[in-house]
Amino acid sequence: MNETSTNTITGLTRRNIFDYLTMEKVAWAGRFDEPDFVIRIWPNANDLPSYDTRFT
């Protein structure tokens, strides 16, 4: 094990987890819709820039 490594999830693993949750229809946000859930755990999420042309 590399002494400088940290406990991180690789991009591939992150995508695999997300794909699994999506395919299994896991309600990962509970009773909240996804935007409300994200704002609850990350209050400053609205301040992040969006590069998605569907959103301002």
pLDDT of residue 15: 92
CB contact at 8 A, 28 and 20: no
Sign of CA dihedral 52, 53, 54, 55: positive
CB contact at 8 A, 21 and 28: yes
pLDDT of residue 38: 82
pLDDT in tens, 4-56: 667 788 989 989 998 998 899 887 778 888 788 888 888 787 788 888 888 76
Token pair 């704002």: residue: 39
